[in-house]
Amino acid sequence: MEFIFSCPETGKTFSTEDFSIMDGQRVFTDAEGRKSLNATIILENPCPLCGKTHEYAADEMICPFTPSI
């Protein structure tokens, strides 16, 4: 299944199914200082837009059924 990712370098989106999900590998601190463990999504291949390998927090993911703005 392809997911849609946003490239932080170019601000554009692309879709790929070459990613892996790492559960609870990172501690995130939210705006109120609370720490929580979130899944991290790591691209298996470099970004097709900028050539870098991006990582995303699972809750930053763009729903593939929602048009990106």
| Residues lying near Zn ion in the complex (CB under 5 A) | 7, 9, 47, 49-50
Our CB check for Zn ion shows the closer of 26 and 52 to be 52
Q: Which is nearer to Zn ion, 39 or 49 (CB)?
A: 49
Positive or negative, the CA dihedral 44, 68, 51, 48 is: positive
| Minimum distance, C-beta of residue 60 to Zn ion, in the bound complex (Å) | 14
**Min dist. Cβ of residue 57 to Zn ion (A):** 16
Instruction: Determine the Cα–Cα distance for residues 55 and 69; give it in Å rounded to an integer.
Output: 20
Q: Which is nearer to Zn ion, 14 or 39 (CB)?
A: 14
**Residues 46, 14: Cα–Cα separation, whole Å:** 12
